[in-house]
Structure 1
Amino acid sequence: MIHYGKHNVNEDDVAAVCDVLRNENLTQDHKGIEFEAALCQYTGARYCITVNSATSALHIACLALGIGENDTVWTSPNSFVASANCALYSGARVDFVDIHPISRNIDINALNTKLAEAKRSDQLPKAIIVVHFAGNSCEMKELQQLLQPLDIALIEDASHALGGTYLDKPVGNCEFSNFCVFSFHPVKSMTTGEGGALMVNCPDLAKNARLYAKHGITRTVSDYDYFTGQPWEYEQQVLGFNYRLSDIQSALGISQLNRLDSFIAKRRALVARYNQLLADLPLKLPVDNPQTESAWHLYVVELRNHEQRAVYDYMLSKGVQLNVHYIPIHLQPHYRRLGFSPGDFPVAEKYYKMALTLPLYPDLTESQQDFVVATLKEALD
């Protein structure tokens, strides 16, 4: 079976994890600090809080911004449910902004129109979570210019985009946003098994986010000085959560980060081949944004004249696993119960009905890719 995504783990990764297992504390030790520093160095952000998932990172970003009851958060319907769920976890309401038909990211024109309507009715959101779909950054500078005068916070869900760039700078530097979130799920740019990170430049926001990630607890004696203080003392300042990332996972992350650029280079080379091999098929291919270099987490094509399920089933029968990213969040049963309906965000809904994600990961060989393309041609005949 050729899967749509797959992690890459080598002997250096295994050795890094085994070193922690044999010689170090398994959690809350220096590997976590080292991993956070490495992510800051890679992205250019001032602070990093590593956590057990990107979902957790999104949640503590909302909490650090003070999002709660009577607040509203807007996001893209074309994403995994976590991009919206994090606001619900915080007690806020959720709404969506439709996507652009080419970039599949949030449509700035649609956002501008919706903001004008919300301003007239005094119902502006407290934050907007934009999603860098498939690894391609949203237009962050334009978004900041639009939102900053309205005092609306901006969170980047860059779960797909670690290793990508925007305006020649690494995604995650937070130049145009309050927070940026990464995912280290096994099919992402790099992995810690499960895990995530929250990048931020503001020291107060970083302090608040870290507090929420660690039970809401601060220690009176932070350096555990057994001679001058009482090491058992601690204070719970807020109702926080146990979202910590273990040192085992951090060690894997450090090792993987050393190879991140090579992972992204391999993805980009495979994308270039896909673009060439699929050019004559009845498909809508993904389009590059001149402002960005995508991390290419996903390679999604859109069918023109074929039924999605039929193509998916045929490919699977031949040993090629495709996927669909994503069922629009507002069509999920839970969100339907919140009042959303088919037709609310028509661009995302139309895209979903035609989208198929092809296999893409660093270890995908050219011969495997050729087989994927040949099988897809058969499915479309």
Structure 2
Amino acid sequence: MRSNYLFTSESVSEGHPDKVADQISDAIVDLFLSKDPEARIACETLTTTQLVVLAGEIRGKGIMDEAGNWAPGVRDEVEKAVRDTVKRIGYEQDGFHWETFRFENNLHPQSAHIAQGVDASGNKDEGAGDQGIMFGYAANDTPDLMPATLYYSHKILEQMAADRHSGKAPFLEPDAKSQVTLRYEGSKPVAATAIVVSTQHGKGYDEGDKEAELHAYVKQVVADVIPSALLSDETVYHINPTGSFEIGGPDGDAGVTGRKIIVDTYGGASPHGGGAFSGKDPTKVDRSAAYITRYLAKNIVAAGLAQRVTIQLAYAIGVSKPLSLYVDTHGTGTVGDDELEAAIGKIEKLGGLTPRGIRTHLGLNKPIYARTAAYGHFGRKPEGDFFPWERTDLVDDLKAALA
């Protein structure tokens, strides 16, 4: 295992066009789950200049019938959820304004052929909503057991968004990207070699004193977020390297749900199965199985059983039990990877890692998803019903299963 290297991860802000699309899709998921916890949702969003389009398949009591007729008032609730999401992000620009953009709702009933594979019936347990492979990852780089490069990339943009919303940094606009390169020695981050931040800004902040003010502000945010031991005079900064960034968000570039799957997960430090999360109800194992693999990986590292671990699950559409479980501790495990695989299989509360078992253990049939759609689905603080896959309450069960 290589121990000395440079590694880079990026993040994008809540105002990035793809993230606008993700947040809208998950606002719809939350709306429908609040009406029917068993709702089936696959909602895709497209954003561009003064336009938001929804497309996808849905099913749920009090939402839409099999003929595609909306329940009274729900279609209006959908549009309100979309506009409220864009308003919260902060878009009030000529090219994209929450109150005036054109809206198209093309959601329609779920395919009966998908439904018959997923629904439980007779002796058949509820099946996976799709085939696919899902990965989970954890590492002891940071207190939240996330890759440090991604963790700090997220934190930079979270702080900038907080300052924008509070009025502390009124020159900032919603769209932004960050990128952090760290040097690792002995598989531990020891220095930040390069920081990239591109942020949409108000008029005039691309030249003279205003540009200098923006650059100074970004460097201060970096200093507040990244530990001082990682920063030095040798750290290279690239702040708005293209020059001007006044036109941004969906007006500057179209956005689509599910295009930031590496930002959403582990910043490239782990493999990815390819399935996006946002816009999907938890019968879709693209989402729920990715959450349970993160949960398992985080608990393994939290238990001191490995410094770093990757976990893979695989499913077939309509089949409840996973086809495979794979654990790789990358040579850092205190027990064998095969022993960890066997231990996971012994823990009854996990429900055999079936879609129903995952949802039940993590409590996923709730409107908890809008918060996930910006600044990563992982490495977040579990709070009440939110981010349950970030809990470390499986540590004792893992140790008992290994005993």
TM-score category, normalised to shorter length? under 0.3
- Bigger share in helix: 1
Provide TM-score, normalisation by structure 1: 0.25
Provide TM-score, normalisation by structure 2: 0.24
